[in-house]
Amino acid sequence: MAARSQRLGLAALTALVVGSMVGAGIFSLPQNVARSAGPAAVLIGWALSGAGMLMLAFVFQALANRRPDLDTGIYAYAREGFGNYIGFSAAWGYWVASVLGNASFFVLIFSGLGHFMPVFGEGNTAAAVAASSLLLWTVHLLVLRGLRTAALVNSLVTVAKLVPIALFLVLAAGAFRMDIFKADFFGGPALGDLGTQLRGMMLVTVWVFIGIEGASIYSRRAARRADVGRATVMGFTGVWLLLVLVSVLSMGVLSQTELAGLPNPSMAYVLRAIVGEWGATVIIIGSIISVLGALLAWVLLCAEVLYAAAGDGTMPAFLGRENSRGVPANALWLSNGLIQLFLLLVLFNAGSYTSLVLLAASMSLVPYFLSAAFGVQLAWRGVAYAGQPVVRWRDFGVALLASVYALWLVYAGGLDNLLLSVLLYVPGVALFALTRRQHGQPVFTRWEWLLFGAILAVAIVTLVAFWRGTLAL
């Protein structure tokens, strides 16, 4: 149980949601969206993705209220509904996705600094990786000082990073031209038909919405349980509005083709087209501050996922140990060690920001789907809805829609990302086996052996494709 001084209120929980969602993605949004879709698909895509993610937000809110005993975050729902191995896989997949997200933040930070110091290039040069490593372990030391300290810093950074975004929105609204926005409204031939554009557009939205479950991860540390659901919905609503405005207003400043060709963070270069070089400078500095804030939030999330999972026997016990300040130090060391490994892989494989975030998004989809599916299961059984039939069937419908949406996103993510995701799920079995042995239990049930065998077979096929060069990060 967290000490009272380490408890988080509604403002801190909401800041964690906003801080997790408003990071790298929003500053690269104009180029990322325009690369896949024209204005018509963008408007439809934001409506669909907003509705789908709102369903997920409502699912997290309902689960927080109906099953307050499941206070260890997103993976606990998968474990409760579908067994130990599925629950572990949800925790493992979410953790790896968070680690990948953190690695992408470092790439984007030093890609932005490359605007001023070419030695950092696109964030994947030797100098960039060395500087990223130094920054990583500086953040590590900050978090070791205590969760409350880190959460306070995150709250302050969340406010600071919204200032350049607000400046962009005001200036972009003033420079918006309807004739530019309406030109090639349905996208040029190179983008494909409306369905193809929507698929590409929706995949981008997966990444910018990841972090919606940030308050759920910290539910055990909330001062009031009801604040978890409120923070989730409040944080999502505000961020969704920001994302829509940034992408739509940009399409009224530069054409789709011009936006698609911008370097990242592309918001900076949209503002440069409006006010000149100082605009790009302001946004790049703002993006670095923003990504630093998101980086801190996600470092916290990485450690908390492992710590919470260790607390209820899903992960090995050593990951549940805290230091004198109440920080899950072992979980933090393992998380940041894997981030460091991914940074080295970026250097040796010339990995890009986009490839990292799309893989992270794909890894997150399985835990999202399992949470929504548990919401369906919970409402169908009705155990937590005694005397509330209307609320029960409302929650059932919402969870069913969220499940369908999550499955559609798996399809939108593409086969390559799905295969790479499966490959990254396999190493986790070592920790799962260790955990089961610690509790004197067999590693797998019969059907779990079958599931693991299928995952292993797909992973082997993926490795062969990777070795032959037909699949790459």
Q: Please say if the pLDDT value at position 338 is more than 80.
A: yes
Model pTM?
0.77
Give the span between the Cα atoms of 47 and 51, in whole angstroms: 6
Question: Given pLDDT bands bounded at 50, 70 and 90, which one contains residue 113?
Answer: confident
Q: Please say if the pLDDT value at position 295 is more than 80.
A: no
Question: Given pLDDT bands bounded at 50, 70 and 90, which one contains residue 290?
Answer: confident
Question: Given pLDDT bands bounded at 50, 70 and 90, which one contains residue 3?
Answer: very low
pLDDT at 242: 86
DSSP state of 154: H
If you average pLDDT over every residue of the chain, what do you get? 81
Q: What is the mean pLDDT of residues 17-21?
A: 67
pLDDT at 16: 66
pLDDT at 169: 93
Question: Given pLDDT bands bounded at 50, 70 and 90, which one contains residue 399?
Answer: very high
Question: Given pLDDT bands bounded at 50, 70 and 90, which one contains residue 229?
Answer: low
The vertex-183 CA angle with 37 and 237, nearest 5°, equals: 50
Kindly report, residue by residue over 444-457, the tens digit of the pLDDT. Answer: 888 889 989 998 99
Q: What is the mean pLDDT of residues 139-153?
A: 66
Name the percent of the chain lying above pLDDT 70: 83
Question: Given pLDDT bands bounded at 50, 70 and 90, which one contains residue 400?
Answer: very high
Question: Given pLDDT bands bounded at 50, 70 and 90, which one contains residue 225?
Answer: low
pLDDT at 303: 83
Provide the token pair at 320.
């549940």
pLDDT at 25: 73
pLDDT at 376: 93
Kindly report, residue by residue over 119-142, the tens digit of the pLDDT. Answer: 887 777 888 889 989 988 888 887
Q: Please say if the pLDDT value at position 435 is more than 70.
A: yes
pLDDT at 159: 64
The vertex-143 CA angle with 137 and 148, nearest 5°, equals: 165
Of 105-119, 135-149, 171-185, 417-431, least confident by mean pLDDT is: 135-149
Give the span between the Cα atoms of 85 and 459, in whole angstroms: 17
pLDDT at 173: 93
Q: Please say if the pLDDT value at position 344 is more than 50.
A: yes
Are 279 and 268 contacting, i.e. CB atoms less than 8 angstroms apart? yes
Q: Please say if the pLDDT value at position 279 is more than 70.
A: yes
Kindly report, residue by residue over 189-215, the tens digit of the pLDDT. Answer: 777 788 788 877 777 777 677 666 655
Across 73-77, 146-150, 338-342, 461-465, the highest mean pLDDT is recorded for 338-342
pLDDT at 5: 46
Evaluated on CA atoms 175, 176, 179, 180, the torsion sign reads: positive
Q: What is the mean pLDDT of residues 410-416?
A: 73
Kindly report, residue by residue over 37-65, the tens digit of the pLDDT. Answer: 888 888 998 888 888 888 887 888 788 77
Q: If you compute the radius of gyration of the chain from its CA atoms, what whole number of angstroms results?
A: 21
Q: Please say if the pLDDT value at position 304 is more than 60.
A: yes
Q: Please say if the pLDDT value at position 4 is more than 50.
A: no
Q: Please say if the pLDDT value at position 66 is more than 80.
A: yes
Give the span between the Cα atoms of 220 and 216, in whole angstroms: 8
Residues 6+ apart with CB under 8 A from 143: 150, 296, 299, 300, 303, 327, 332
Q: Please say if the pLDDT value at position 217 is more than 70.
A: no
Decide: residue 472, CB within 10 A, 0-12 exposed, 13-18 middle, 19+ buried: exposed
Q: Which residue has the higher pLDDT, 428 or 214?
A: 428
pLDDT at 257: 87
Decide: residue 262, CB within 10 A, 0-12 exposed, 13-18 middle, 19+ buried: buried
Q: What is the mean pLDDT of residues 237-250?
A: 88
Kindly report, residue by residue over 369-396, the tens digit of the pLDDT. Answer: 898 999 999 999 888 888 888 889 999 9
